[in-house]
């Protein structure tokens, strides 16, 4: 499809915020670009490399070793040896906790370099990485470090002359595949509970954003994590991801990404060794604005829900349902609010909206903007790309959106908000649930009865009332329907990496049976 609003058009209210009109030179050096297997950085077996790009300029940052199936085999072999014979699963929980907390200390010490590397590789705003992503990643690691010595079984009162107890044991070698939108957060969301439980890990970072994962692999050695316990394999989904999913010696797989790829991961698990699977997949989440809620606060919440991280969030509240009594006022105010978004170089302080991660995502978002126009939605603001270089797209809002339009049904994963009008609570519950997804939802209302009814009725794994995208290491994240299987974060995340074993023995001649 040809895009009438091609790169270079600046029809909206935004001009790219740059330093003296030019992208800022990244104040960081890339140090680690090889595979990390068995505690060492090594070249891939094939010797191949791939390039990772700066989304601001479309220029190559560096070449990175490209893992293949043979490298997966080597990493799994190292992880299996570390699990079956190494100290990590046999170590006391308190000692694992000490090492993981030291790891968190090292992340804190190197946080400035990590934040700049993340901004360069992913196009994420430096302010957000330093204020949110890194604290969340470090907090997640400390949270699970605190659980490492608190994993206990139960004693069982048996029916008959027996005693029983349960053990919670690490599940084994874990394959993990993470996306590019929150590289640091996703890296530690996956490895932290696995390592706390005593598992070993083979993790594939996204090919678009491998650099911070490799840096963190380096820090794991300094923290004292033994060789083979953590292995990091940059590469592509069709090769590395498929090899991890199909591998007969991997006991568990955890994947975050699209529903389409999640299906492939699950199929591969079923066809190989029926490995345990956790999937956190797509979403098309409703944010419901009732007419009794403060309109200015609703506008602020909706702006964050749709446009944080350039809309590259599986939890995005991109279907904004607004009750008819405040619909016109909301539309007017959200347009004025979004005009104030600062779009530009993510290294520049105060920028809220940087580039999309890559050309594929850039083109996909522009395609959906065209779909919105073709299907009859009204483009209120945005809809254009910005600048002559880089993957910048204006924050975009459509209203007069209908439920059957593509922009209302399909996950765009970009800065596109759809505003839909509704009349009654009954109507919005039905329409909110009219989706293949069920990841999260939000409702803004001052009526506790409405809040309770909507939160109980919407089929989603998380419901926010009078807020959105709030949470931390303690909550549970996971979806209904085609948004995934299982839950992550909090104590729920631990259960993904543990198996329960019952042990039963006879007791003879006891007077207390």
Give 94-106 as a 3 state SS string. HHHHHHHHHHHHH
Residues 50/59, Cβ–Cβ less than 8 Å: no
Instruction: Tell me the pLDDT tens digit for each residue of 182-233.
Output: 999 999 999 999 999 999 999 999 999 999 999 999 999 999 999 999 999 9
Q: What is the mean pLDDT of residues 419-446?
A: 98
Question: Could you give the CA distance from residue 167 to residue 501 in angstroms, rounded to a whole number?
Answer: 5
Return the closest-CA partner of residue 179 out of 169, 193, 189.
Answer: 189
Which residues neighbour 105 within 8 Å (Cβ) at sequence distance 6 or greater? none
What's the average model confidence in pLDDT over 298-302? Answer: 98
Reading the block at residue 53, the tokens are 């790009």
3-state secondary structure 246-303: HCCCCCEEEEECCHHHHHHHHHHHHHCCCCEEEEECCCCCEEEECCCCCHHHHHHHHH
The model's pLDDT over 44-59, given as tens digits with 9 standing for 90+, comes to 999 999 999 999 999 9
314: annotated active-site residue: yes
- What confidence tens digit (pLDDT) does each residue in 479-502 have? 999 999 999 999 999 999 999 999
Which residues make up the CATH 3.40.309.10 domain(s) of the chain? 286-472
Cα gap 255→237, rounded to integer Å: 11
Per-residue confidence band for 510, with pLDDT thresholds at 50, 70 and 90: low
Residue with tokens 């975050």: 256
- pLDDT over 60 (residue 3): no
112-145: per-residue pLDDT in tens? Answer: 999 999 999 999 999 999 999 999 999 999 999 9
Distances, alpha carbon 504 to alpha carbons 152, 167, 256, 510, in Å: 17, 11, 38, 16
- Choosing from 280, 394, 411, 488, the catalytic residue is 280
280 belongs to the catalytic site: yes
**N- to C-terminal Cα separation, the chain:** 76
CATH number for the region 68-281+487-495 comes to 3.40.605.10
CB 168 within 8 A of CB 511: no
List the Cα angle 494/220/188 in 5-degree steps: 35
Predicted confidence at residue 11, as pLDDT, reads: 53
SS3 content of the chain, % helix, strand, coil (to 5): 40, 20, 40
pLDDT at 489: 94
Q: CA 16 to CA 345: how far, in whole Å?
A: 7
The answer on pLDDT for 8 being more than 50 is: no
Q: How many CB atoms lie within 10 A of CB 19?
A: 13
Residue 496: CB partners within 8 Å, gap ≥ 6? 171, 193, 194, 252, 254, 276, 278, 486, 487, 488
Query: CB under 8 Å to 469, separation ≥6 — which residues?
Result: 304, 305, 308, 313, 315, 317
**Which one from 199, 314, 411, 488 is the annotated catalytic residue?**
314
| CATH code of the domain occupying 286-472 | 3.40.309.10
CATH 3.40.605.10 in the chain, residues?
68-281+487-495
Share of residues in the chain with pLDDT > 90 (%) = 94
55-92 CB burial, b ≥16 within 10 A, e <16: bbbeeebbebbbbbbebbebbbbbbbebbeebebbebe
Measure the CA–CA gap between 293 and 321, rounded to whole angstroms.
13
CA pair distance 306, 286, nearest whole angstrom: 10
Condensed to tens digits (0 to 9), the pLDDT of residues 314-349 reads 999 999 999 999 999 999 999 999 999 999 999 999
Mean of the pLDDT values across residues 433-457?
98
Max distance between CA atoms of the chain, in angstroms, equals 87
What tens digit of pLDDT does each residue of 399-416 get? Answer: 999 999 999 999 999 999
Q: What is the mean pLDDT of residues 5-12?
A: 42
Q: Is the pLDDT of residue 508 over 90?
A: no
Query: 3-state SS of 82-136?
Result: HHHHCCCCCCCHHHHHHHHHHHHHHHHHCHHHHHHHHHHHHCCCHHHHHHHHHHH
Tell me the pLDDT tens digit for each residue of 221-272.
999 999 999 999 999 999 999 999 999 999 999 999 999 999 999 999 999 9
């Amino acid at each position: 499809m040809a895009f009438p609003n091609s790169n270079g058009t600046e029809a909206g209210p935004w001009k790219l915020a740059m330093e003296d009109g030019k992208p800022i030179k990244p104040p960081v050096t890339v140090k680690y670009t090889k595979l990390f297997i068995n505690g060492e950085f090594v070249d891939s077996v094939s010797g191949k490399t791939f390039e990772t790009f700066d989304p601001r300029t479309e220029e190559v940052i560096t070449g990175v070793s490209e893992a293949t199936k043979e490298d997966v085999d080597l990493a799994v072999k190292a992880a299996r040896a570390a699990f079956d014979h190494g100290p990590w699963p046999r170590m006391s929980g308190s000692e694992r906790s000490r090492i993981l907390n030291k790891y968190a200390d090292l992340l804190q010490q190197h946080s400035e370099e990590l934040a700049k590397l993340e901004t360069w590789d992913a196009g994420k705003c430096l302010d957000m990485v330093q204020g949110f992503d890194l604290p969340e990643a470090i907090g997640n690691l400390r949270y699970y470090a605190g659980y490492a010595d608190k994993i206990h079984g139960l004693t069982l009162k048996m029916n008959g002359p027996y005693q029983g107890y349960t053990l919670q044991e690490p599940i084994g070698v874990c394959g993990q595949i993470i996306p590019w939108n929150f590289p640091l957060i996703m890296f530690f969301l996956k490895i932290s509970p696995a390592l706390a439980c005593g598992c070993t890990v083979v993790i594939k970072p996204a090919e678009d954003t491998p650099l911070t994962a490799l840096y963190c692999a380096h820090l794991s050695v300094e923290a004292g994590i033994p060789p083979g316990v953590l292995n990091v394999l940059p590469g592509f989904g069709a090769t590395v991801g498929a090899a991890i999913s199909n591998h007969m010696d991997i006991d568990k797989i955890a994947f975050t990404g699209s529903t389409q790829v999640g299906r492939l991961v699950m199929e591969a698990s079923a066809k190989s060794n029926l490995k345990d699977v956790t999937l956190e997949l797509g979403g098309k989440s409703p944010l419901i604005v009732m007419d009794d809620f403060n309109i200015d606060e609703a506008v602020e919440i909706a702006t964050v829900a749709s446009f944080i991280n350039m809309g590259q969030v599986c939890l995005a509240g991109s279907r904004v349902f607004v009750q008819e009594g405040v619909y016109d006022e909301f539309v007017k105010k959200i347009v004025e609010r979004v005009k104030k978004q600062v779009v530009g170089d993510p290294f520049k302080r105060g920028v809220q909206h940087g580039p999309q991660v890559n050309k594929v995502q850039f083109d996909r978002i522009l395609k959906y903007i065209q779909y919105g126009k073709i299907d009859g939605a009204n483009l209120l603001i945005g809809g254009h790309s910005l600048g002559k270089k880089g993957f910048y797209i204006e924050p975009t809002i459509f209203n007069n959106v209908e439920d059957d339009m593509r922009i209302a049904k399909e996950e765009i994963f970009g800065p596109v908000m759809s505003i839909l009008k509704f009349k009654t609570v009954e109507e919005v519950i039905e329409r909110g649930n009219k989706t293949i997804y069920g990841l999260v939802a939000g409702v803004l209302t001052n009526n506790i009865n409405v809040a309770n009814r909507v939160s109980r009725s919407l089929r989603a794994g998380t419901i926010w009332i009078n807020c959105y995208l709030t949470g931390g290491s303690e909550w549970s994240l996971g979806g209904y329907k085609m948004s995934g299987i299982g839950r992550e974060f909090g104590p729920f995340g631990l259960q993904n990496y543990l198996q329960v074993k019952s042990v039963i023995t006879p007791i003879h001649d006891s007077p207390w049976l």
